Structure 1
Amino acid sequence: PSSLELFYFPIRGRGDLPRSLMIDGGLEFTEARIPKGEQWLARKPDFVFGQMPVLRVDGSRDIAQSHAIARYLAKLTNPSLLGDTIDEAANVDMWYYQTDDVYMSVIGPFYRAFDTIEQLFNDKWTSWMAPFEKALSCSEYLANGKLSLADYHLFDIAEVMLHFKPQLLEQTPWVRAHRDRMASRPGIAKFLEYVKGLPFTNSGHL
Protein backbone atom coordinates (compact mmCIF):
# COMPACT_ATOMS: atom_id res chain seq x y z
CA PRO A 1 0.00 0.00 0.00
CA SER A 2 1.09 3.57 -0.63
CA SER A 3 -0.28 4.83 2.70
CA LEU A 4 -1.49 3.50 6.04
CA GLU A 5 -3.41 5.59 8.58
CA LEU A 6 -4.45 4.31 11.99
CA PHE A 7 -7.50 5.80 13.68
CA TYR A 8 -7.71 5.29 17.43
CA PHE A 9 -8.11 7.03 20.76
CA PRO A 10 -5.06 8.77 22.27
CA ILE A 11 -4.35 5.69 24.40
CA ARG A 12 -2.33 2.49 24.04
CA GLY A 13 -5.09 -0.14 24.46
CA ARG A 14 -6.11 -1.88 21.24
CA GLY A 15 -3.85 0.47 19.31
CA ASP A 16 -0.65 -1.12 20.58
CA LEU A 17 -0.85 -4.29 18.50
CA PRO A 18 -1.13 -2.55 15.10
CA ARG A 19 1.41 0.08 16.13
CA SER A 20 3.98 -2.50 17.23
CA LEU A 21 3.44 -4.62 14.11
CA MET A 22 3.87 -1.64 11.81
CA ILE A 23 6.88 -0.17 13.57
CA ASP A 24 8.65 -3.50 14.10
CA GLY A 25 7.80 -4.44 10.51
CA GLY A 26 9.31 -1.24 9.11
CA LEU A 27 6.05 0.16 7.75
CA GLU A 28 5.49 3.89 7.58
CA PHE A 29 2.12 5.08 8.83
CA THR A 30 0.29 8.11 10.14
CA GLU A 31 -2.08 8.16 13.07
CA ALA A 32 -5.24 10.13 13.81
CA ARG A 33 -5.84 10.14 17.56
CA ILE A 34 -9.47 11.01 18.26
CA PRO A 35 -10.32 11.83 21.91
CA LYS A 36 -13.42 10.29 23.46
CA GLY A 37 -16.38 12.61 23.97
CA GLU A 38 -17.70 15.08 21.42
CA GLN A 39 -14.87 14.61 18.91
CA TRP A 40 -15.34 10.85 18.88
CA LEU A 41 -19.14 11.07 18.71
CA ALA A 42 -18.82 13.36 15.68
CA ARG A 43 -16.50 10.90 13.91
CA LYS A 44 -18.16 7.64 15.02
CA PRO A 45 -20.57 7.45 12.01
CA ASP A 46 -17.57 7.65 9.64
CA PHE A 47 -16.46 4.13 10.58
CA VAL A 48 -18.11 0.95 9.35
CA PHE A 49 -18.89 -0.48 12.80
CA GLY A 50 -18.79 2.80 14.73
CA GLN A 51 -15.68 1.75 16.60
CA MET A 52 -11.89 1.99 16.55
CA PRO A 53 -9.18 0.99 15.82
CA VAL A 54 -9.57 1.35 12.08
CA LEU A 55 -6.72 1.08 9.58
CA ARG A 56 -7.21 3.13 6.42
CA VAL A 57 -5.27 1.74 3.46
CA ASP A 58 -4.37 4.00 0.52
CA GLY A 59 -6.70 6.70 1.83
CA SER A 60 -9.89 4.90 0.90
CA ARG A 61 -10.10 1.30 2.11
CA ASP A 62 -10.92 0.85 5.79
CA ILE A 63 -10.15 -2.25 7.83
CA ALA A 64 -12.00 -2.42 11.13
CA GLN A 65 -11.82 -5.00 13.94
CA SER A 66 -8.55 -5.44 15.84
CA HIS A 67 -7.94 -9.03 14.76
CA ALA A 68 -8.54 -8.28 11.07
CA ILE A 69 -6.09 -5.36 11.29
CA ALA A 70 -3.47 -7.48 13.07
CA ARG A 71 -3.72 -10.32 10.56
CA TYR A 72 -3.53 -7.90 7.63
CA LEU A 73 -0.41 -6.25 9.03
CA ALA A 74 1.21 -9.61 9.79
CA LYS A 75 0.65 -10.72 6.20
CA LEU A 76 2.04 -7.41 4.99
CA THR A 77 5.20 -7.42 7.10
CA ASN A 78 6.03 -11.07 7.77
CA PRO A 79 3.49 -13.76 6.77
CA SER A 80 5.40 -16.28 8.90
CA LEU A 81 3.91 -14.52 11.95
CA LEU A 82 0.68 -16.36 11.09
CA GLY A 83 2.35 -19.76 10.58
CA ASP A 84 3.89 -21.34 7.49
CA THR A 85 1.64 -24.41 7.29
CA ILE A 86 -1.99 -25.09 8.12
CA ASP A 87 -0.94 -26.79 11.37
CA GLU A 88 1.38 -23.94 12.32
CA ALA A 89 -1.38 -21.44 11.55
CA ALA A 90 -3.80 -23.30 13.83
CA ASN A 91 -1.19 -23.25 16.61
CA VAL A 92 -0.63 -19.50 16.18
CA ASP A 93 -4.39 -18.89 16.22
CA MET A 94 -4.79 -21.03 19.33
CA TRP A 95 -2.25 -19.00 21.28
CA TYR A 96 -3.30 -15.68 19.79
CA TYR A 97 -6.97 -16.06 20.72
CA GLN A 98 -6.15 -17.38 24.18
CA THR A 99 -3.91 -14.36 24.64
CA ASP A 100 -6.78 -12.12 23.59
CA ASP A 101 -9.11 -13.76 26.11
CA VAL A 102 -6.61 -12.93 28.85
CA TYR A 103 -6.09 -9.43 27.43
CA MET A 104 -9.82 -8.77 27.80
CA SER A 105 -9.75 -10.14 31.36
CA VAL A 106 -6.90 -7.76 32.22
CA ILE A 107 -8.22 -4.62 30.50
CA GLY A 108 -11.93 -4.98 31.28
CA PRO A 109 -11.76 -4.32 35.04
CA PHE A 110 -10.09 -0.94 34.50
CA TYR A 111 -13.43 0.16 33.05
CA ARG A 112 -15.93 -1.95 34.98
CA ALA A 113 -14.61 -2.98 38.38
CA PHE A 114 -11.60 -0.89 39.34
CA ASP A 115 -12.47 -0.97 43.05
CA THR A 116 -11.77 -4.72 43.14
CA ILE A 117 -9.06 -4.91 40.47
CA GLU A 118 -6.10 -5.45 42.80
CA GLN A 119 -7.76 -8.41 44.50
CA LEU A 120 -8.78 -9.84 41.12
CA PHE A 121 -5.25 -9.61 39.73
CA ASN A 122 -3.73 -11.01 42.93
CA ASP A 123 -6.10 -13.97 42.72
CA LYS A 124 -6.01 -14.61 38.98
CA TRP A 125 -2.75 -13.42 37.41
CA THR A 126 -0.65 -16.54 37.96
CA SER A 127 -3.45 -18.87 36.83
CA TRP A 128 -4.09 -16.74 33.73
CA MET A 129 -0.39 -16.91 32.94
CA ALA A 130 0.16 -20.60 33.80
CA PRO A 131 -0.17 -21.94 30.20
CA PHE A 132 2.12 -19.17 28.94
CA GLU A 133 4.69 -19.84 31.65
CA LYS A 134 4.69 -23.54 30.72
CA ALA A 135 5.07 -22.86 26.99
CA LEU A 136 7.79 -20.24 27.46
CA SER A 137 9.77 -22.48 29.80
CA CYS A 138 10.30 -24.74 26.76
CA SER A 139 10.68 -22.15 23.98
CA GLU A 140 11.46 -18.48 23.51
CA TYR A 141 8.17 -18.08 21.64
CA LEU A 142 4.59 -19.23 22.16
CA ALA A 143 3.91 -21.06 18.90
CA ASN A 144 6.02 -23.26 16.63
CA GLY A 145 9.30 -22.20 18.22
CA LYS A 146 9.37 -18.89 16.36
CA LEU A 147 8.02 -15.36 16.54
CA SER A 148 4.29 -15.10 15.85
CA LEU A 149 1.36 -12.74 16.18
CA ALA A 150 0.65 -14.29 19.60
CA ASP A 151 3.99 -13.02 20.93
CA TYR A 152 3.13 -9.43 20.05
CA HIS A 153 -0.20 -9.72 21.85
CA LEU A 154 1.30 -11.32 24.97
CA PHE A 155 3.71 -8.39 25.01
CA ASP A 156 0.65 -6.09 25.20
CA ILE A 157 -0.53 -7.84 28.37
CA ALA A 158 2.91 -7.83 29.98
CA GLU A 159 3.25 -4.10 29.28
CA VAL A 160 -0.03 -3.39 31.08
CA MET A 161 1.06 -5.35 34.13
CA LEU A 162 4.57 -3.89 34.09
CA HIS A 163 3.06 -0.42 34.43
CA PHE A 164 0.23 -1.29 36.83
CA LYS A 165 1.51 -4.03 39.16
CA PRO A 166 5.10 -4.93 38.22
CA GLN A 167 5.43 -7.14 41.29
CA LEU A 168 2.83 -9.48 39.78
CA LEU A 169 4.78 -9.70 36.53
CA GLU A 170 7.79 -10.78 38.58
CA GLN A 171 5.72 -13.77 39.79
CA THR A 172 5.65 -15.06 36.20
CA PRO A 173 9.35 -15.03 35.30
CA TRP A 174 9.02 -16.69 31.88
CA VAL A 175 6.42 -14.15 30.77
CA ARG A 176 8.60 -11.37 32.18
CA ALA A 177 11.62 -12.70 30.26
CA HIS A 178 9.51 -12.94 27.10
CA ARG A 179 8.45 -9.31 27.54
CA ASP A 180 12.08 -8.22 27.91
CA ARG A 181 13.13 -10.31 24.90
CA MET A 182 10.44 -8.66 22.78
CA ALA A 183 11.44 -5.22 24.07
CA SER A 184 15.04 -5.86 23.00
CA ARG A 185 13.98 -6.02 19.34
CA PRO A 186 15.04 -2.68 17.77
CA GLY A 187 11.60 -2.20 16.24
CA ILE A 188 9.83 -2.83 19.55
CA ALA A 189 12.20 -0.45 21.34
CA LYS A 190 11.23 2.14 18.73
CA PHE A 191 7.55 1.33 19.30
CA LEU A 192 7.92 1.82 23.06
CA GLU A 193 9.44 5.22 22.44
CA TYR A 194 6.55 6.05 20.09
CA VAL A 195 3.86 5.29 22.71
CA LYS A 196 5.75 6.74 25.67
CA GLY A 197 3.46 8.84 27.85
CA LEU A 198 0.20 7.54 26.38
CA PRO A 199 -2.28 6.13 28.92
CA PHE A 200 -3.20 2.47 28.48
CA THR A 201 -6.96 3.00 28.81
CA ASN A 202 -9.70 5.61 28.60
CA SER A 203 -10.75 4.69 32.14
CA GLY A 204 -8.68 7.31 33.94
CA HIS A 205 -6.99 4.57 35.99
CA LEU A 206 -3.98 3.60 33.84
Structure 2
Amino acid sequence: MAGKVVLYYFNGRGKMEAIRWLLTVAEVEFDEVHLTTREQYQKLLSDGALMFQQVPMVEMDGMKLVQTKAILNYIAEKYNLHGKDHEERVRINMYSEGLMDLMEMIMMLPFTADPKPKLDNIQTKAKERYLPVFEKALNGPVYLVGGKLSCADVQLLECTLMLEEKFPGILSEFPNIKSFQGRMTQIPAISRFLQPGSKRKPQPDENYVKTVMEVFNIKQLFP
Protein backbone atom coordinates (compact mmCIF):
# COMPACT_ATOMS: atom_id res chain seq x y z
CA MET A 1 0.00 0.00 0.00
CA ALA A 2 1.40 3.39 -0.95
CA GLY A 3 2.15 5.65 2.00
CA LYS A 4 1.51 9.33 2.47
CA VAL A 5 2.87 11.73 -0.13
CA VAL A 6 6.15 13.32 0.99
CA LEU A 7 7.69 16.45 -0.51
CA TYR A 8 11.44 17.05 -0.37
CA TYR A 9 12.34 20.70 -0.76
CA PHE A 10 13.25 23.84 1.14
CA ASN A 11 10.85 25.45 3.60
CA GLY A 12 9.80 27.96 0.97
CA ARG A 13 7.99 28.35 -2.31
CA GLY A 14 10.26 27.83 -5.28
CA LYS A 15 9.26 25.19 -7.78
CA MET A 16 7.58 23.06 -5.11
CA GLU A 17 4.84 25.61 -4.45
CA ALA A 18 2.91 24.76 -7.63
CA ILE A 19 2.99 21.12 -6.52
CA ARG A 20 1.67 22.05 -3.07
CA TRP A 21 -1.13 24.01 -4.73
CA LEU A 22 -2.14 21.14 -7.00
CA LEU A 23 -2.08 18.51 -4.24
CA THR A 24 -4.19 20.84 -2.10
CA VAL A 25 -6.81 21.27 -4.83
CA ALA A 26 -6.83 17.51 -5.37
CA GLU A 27 -7.34 17.22 -1.59
CA VAL A 28 -4.28 15.01 -1.16
CA GLU A 29 -2.63 15.10 2.27
CA PHE A 30 1.15 15.45 2.23
CA ASP A 31 4.11 15.71 4.57
CA GLU A 32 7.26 17.71 3.92
CA VAL A 33 10.95 17.11 4.53
CA HIS A 34 12.68 20.49 4.50
CA LEU A 35 16.26 20.65 3.29
CA THR A 36 18.31 22.77 5.67
CA THR A 37 21.84 21.41 5.24
CA ARG A 38 24.10 20.37 2.39
CA GLU A 39 24.48 16.99 4.09
CA GLN A 40 20.77 16.26 3.64
CA TYR A 41 21.05 17.05 -0.06
CA GLN A 42 24.17 14.92 -0.45
CA LYS A 43 22.45 11.99 1.25
CA LEU A 44 19.57 12.20 -1.24
CA LEU A 45 22.18 12.14 -4.01
CA SER A 46 24.04 9.17 -2.55
CA ASP A 47 20.76 7.29 -2.06
CA GLY A 48 19.98 7.75 -5.77
CA ALA A 49 16.75 9.61 -4.98
CA LEU A 50 17.41 12.53 -7.34
CA MET A 51 17.53 11.41 -10.97
CA PHE A 52 19.05 14.67 -12.20
CA GLN A 53 20.57 15.79 -8.89
CA GLN A 54 17.76 18.32 -8.45
CA VAL A 55 14.79 19.01 -6.23
CA PRO A 56 11.76 19.17 -6.05
CA MET A 57 11.39 15.48 -5.33
CA VAL A 58 8.06 13.89 -4.40
CA GLU A 59 7.59 10.42 -2.95
CA MET A 60 4.23 9.25 -4.23
CA ASP A 61 2.66 5.90 -5.10
CA GLY A 62 5.91 4.10 -4.36
CA MET A 63 7.90 6.31 -6.74
CA LYS A 64 10.43 9.09 -6.33
CA LEU A 65 9.20 11.72 -8.77
CA VAL A 66 11.43 14.55 -10.03
CA GLN A 67 11.15 17.36 -12.60
CA THR A 68 8.41 19.84 -11.78
CA LYS A 69 6.40 19.52 -14.99
CA ALA A 70 6.43 15.73 -14.81
CA ILE A 71 5.24 15.80 -11.20
CA LEU A 72 2.47 18.28 -11.98
CA ASN A 73 1.34 16.24 -14.98
CA TYR A 74 1.26 13.04 -12.92
CA ILE A 75 -0.88 14.64 -10.20
CA ALA A 76 -3.16 16.29 -12.79
CA GLU A 77 -3.67 12.99 -14.65
CA LYS A 78 -4.31 11.03 -11.48
CA TYR A 79 -6.85 13.45 -10.08
CA ASN A 80 -8.69 14.34 -13.29
CA LEU A 81 -7.27 17.86 -13.59
CA HIS A 82 -5.77 17.42 -17.05
CA GLY A 83 -8.62 17.55 -19.54
CA LYS A 84 -10.75 14.86 -21.14
CA ASP A 85 -8.78 14.27 -24.34
CA HIS A 86 -5.52 15.02 -26.17
CA GLU A 87 -6.70 18.37 -27.48
CA GLU A 88 -7.70 19.63 -24.04
CA ARG A 89 -4.48 18.33 -22.49
CA VAL A 90 -2.24 20.12 -24.97
CA ARG A 91 -4.14 23.38 -24.43
CA ILE A 92 -3.82 22.96 -20.67
CA ASN A 93 -0.10 22.24 -21.06
CA MET A 94 0.44 25.35 -23.19
CA TYR A 95 -1.25 27.52 -20.59
CA SER A 96 0.64 25.81 -17.76
CA GLU A 97 4.04 26.16 -19.35
CA GLY A 98 3.47 29.84 -20.10
CA LEU A 99 2.51 30.41 -16.48
CA MET A 100 5.56 28.50 -15.25
CA ASP A 101 7.81 30.66 -17.44
CA LEU A 102 6.39 33.77 -15.79
CA MET A 103 6.47 32.37 -12.26
CA GLU A 104 10.07 31.18 -12.63
CA MET A 105 11.11 34.76 -13.41
CA ILE A 106 9.55 35.83 -10.10
CA MET A 107 11.15 32.89 -8.26
CA MET A 108 14.62 34.02 -9.32
CA LEU A 109 14.24 37.57 -7.96
CA PRO A 110 15.47 36.78 -4.41
CA PHE A 111 18.67 35.32 -5.88
CA THR A 112 19.35 38.37 -8.06
CA ALA A 113 21.89 40.98 -6.98
CA ASP A 114 19.92 43.86 -8.53
CA PRO A 115 16.26 42.87 -8.90
CA LYS A 116 14.91 46.27 -10.01
CA PRO A 117 15.54 45.87 -13.78
CA LYS A 118 14.18 42.33 -13.65
CA LEU A 119 11.06 43.50 -11.80
CA ASP A 120 10.41 46.05 -14.53
CA ASN A 121 10.88 43.37 -17.18
CA ILE A 122 8.53 40.95 -15.40
CA GLN A 123 5.82 43.57 -15.08
CA THR A 124 6.07 44.49 -18.75
CA LYS A 125 5.99 40.88 -19.92
CA ALA A 126 3.12 40.03 -17.60
CA LYS A 127 0.97 42.90 -18.89
CA GLU A 128 1.89 42.62 -22.56
CA ARG A 129 2.62 38.93 -23.18
CA TYR A 130 1.00 36.70 -20.57
CA LEU A 131 -2.06 38.26 -18.92
CA PRO A 132 -3.76 39.24 -22.21
CA VAL A 133 -3.79 35.56 -23.19
CA PHE A 134 -5.72 34.59 -20.08
CA GLU A 135 -7.98 37.64 -20.16
CA LYS A 136 -9.10 36.58 -23.66
CA ALA A 137 -9.47 32.91 -22.70
CA LEU A 138 -11.70 33.83 -19.75
CA ASN A 139 -14.03 36.08 -21.75
CA GLY A 140 -17.09 34.00 -20.99
CA PRO A 141 -15.79 30.61 -19.81
CA VAL A 142 -15.60 29.88 -16.08
CA TYR A 143 -12.41 27.86 -16.53
CA LEU A 144 -9.60 27.97 -19.08
CA VAL A 145 -10.26 24.68 -20.86
CA GLY A 146 -13.31 22.47 -21.34
CA GLY A 147 -15.55 24.14 -18.77
CA LYS A 148 -13.86 22.18 -15.99
CA LEU A 149 -11.21 22.90 -13.36
CA SER A 150 -7.72 21.92 -14.50
CA CYS A 151 -4.15 22.29 -13.30
CA ALA A 152 -3.81 25.35 -15.56
CA ASP A 153 -6.53 27.12 -13.57
CA VAL A 154 -4.72 26.36 -10.32
CA GLN A 155 -1.45 27.69 -11.71
CA LEU A 156 -3.13 30.82 -13.03
CA LEU A 157 -4.48 31.58 -9.57
CA GLU A 158 -1.06 30.99 -8.01
CA CYS A 159 0.59 33.20 -10.63
CA THR A 160 -1.87 36.08 -10.23
CA LEU A 161 -1.40 36.09 -6.47
CA MET A 162 2.38 36.18 -6.94
CA LEU A 163 2.06 39.07 -9.37
CA GLU A 164 -0.15 41.05 -7.01
CA GLU A 165 2.42 40.66 -4.25
CA LYS A 166 4.99 42.40 -6.45
CA PHE A 167 2.69 44.71 -8.41
CA PRO A 168 -0.47 45.62 -6.47
CA GLY A 169 -3.25 46.57 -8.84
CA ILE A 170 -1.73 44.78 -11.85
CA LEU A 171 -5.04 43.02 -12.52
CA SER A 172 -7.02 46.27 -12.75
CA GLU A 173 -6.76 46.11 -16.54
CA PHE A 174 -7.79 42.44 -16.63
CA PRO A 175 -11.33 42.16 -15.19
CA ASN A 176 -11.94 38.62 -16.47
CA ILE A 177 -8.84 37.37 -14.66
CA LYS A 178 -9.80 39.25 -11.50
CA SER A 179 -13.28 37.68 -11.57
CA PHE A 180 -11.71 34.26 -12.17
CA GLN A 181 -9.42 34.82 -9.19
CA GLY A 182 -12.41 35.61 -7.01
CA ARG A 183 -14.23 32.44 -8.09
CA MET A 184 -11.18 30.27 -7.51
CA THR A 185 -10.59 31.53 -4.00
CA GLN A 186 -14.13 30.39 -3.08
CA ILE A 187 -13.25 26.74 -3.73
CA PRO A 188 -13.16 25.25 -0.20
CA ALA A 189 -9.74 23.59 -0.50
CA ILE A 190 -8.21 26.78 -1.91
CA SER A 191 -9.93 28.97 0.68
CA ARG A 192 -8.38 26.85 3.43
CA PHE A 193 -4.96 26.94 1.74
CA LEU A 194 -5.06 30.74 1.72
CA GLN A 195 -5.65 30.94 5.47
CA PRO A 196 -2.82 31.53 7.98
CA GLY A 197 -1.32 28.29 9.27
CA SER A 198 -1.79 26.33 6.03
CA LYS A 199 1.02 24.65 4.12
CA ARG A 200 1.20 27.56 1.70
CA LYS A 201 4.60 29.20 1.96
CA PRO A 202 5.23 32.92 2.44
CA GLN A 203 7.28 35.07 0.10
CA PRO A 204 10.97 34.08 0.25
CA ASP A 205 13.08 35.91 2.81
CA GLU A 206 16.80 36.18 3.52
CA ASN A 207 16.85 32.94 5.51
CA TYR A 208 15.32 31.02 2.61
CA VAL A 209 17.86 32.45 0.16
CA LYS A 210 20.74 31.71 2.55
CA THR A 211 19.61 28.10 3.05
CA VAL A 212 19.25 27.42 -0.69
CA MET A 213 22.69 28.88 -1.40
CA GLU A 214 24.32 26.85 1.37
CA VAL A 215 22.64 23.57 0.41
CA PHE A 216 23.62 23.98 -3.25
CA ASN A 217 27.00 25.55 -2.43
CA ILE A 218 26.26 28.75 -4.39
CA LYS A 219 28.84 31.41 -3.54
CA GLN A 220 27.18 34.59 -4.78
CA LEU A 221 23.92 36.02 -6.06
CA PHE A 222 23.26 36.04 -9.77
CA PRO A 223 23.75 39.23 -11.80
Please give the TM-score of this superposition, normalised by the length of structure 2. Answer: 0.78
Structure 2 residue 203 is the aligned partner of structure 1 residue 199: yes
Query: What pairs with 1:83-102 in structure 2 (closer than 5 Å)?
Result: 83-102=83-102
Query: What pairs with 1:5-24 in structure 2 (closer than 5 Å)?
Result: 5-24=6-25
What percent of counterpart residues are identical?
Answer: 24
Query: What pairs with 1:96-135 in structure 2 (closer than 5 Å)?
Result: 96-112=96-112, 113-127=114-128, 128-135=130-137
Higher helix share: 1
CA contact (8 A) 1:160 1:200 kept: no
Please give the TM-score of this superposition, normalised by the length of structure 1. Answer: 0.83
For the pair shown, which has the larger CA radius of gyration, 1 or 2? 2
Post-superposition shift, 1:38?
3.2
User: RMSD in angstroms over aligned alpha carbons?
Assistant: 2.4
- Counterpart position of 1:159: 161
CA offset digits 1:127-170 (Å, max 9, x no partner): 12111111112312111222111111112211211222222233
Counterpart of 1:53 (choices 44, 53, 56) is: 56
Post-superposition shift, 1:109?
4.1
For 2:200 and 2:149, how far apart are their aligned partners in 1?
A: 24
CA contact (8 A) 1:5 1:30 kept: yes
Q: Could you say what secondary structure the match of 2:59 adopts?
A: strand
Q: Could you say what secondary structure the match of 1:82 adopts?
A: coil
CA contact (8 A) 1:12 1:198 kept: yes
Q: Which runs of 5+ in 1 are unaligned?
A: none
Post-superposition shift, 1:198?
2.4
Q: Could you say what secondary structure the match of 1:22 adopts?
A: helix
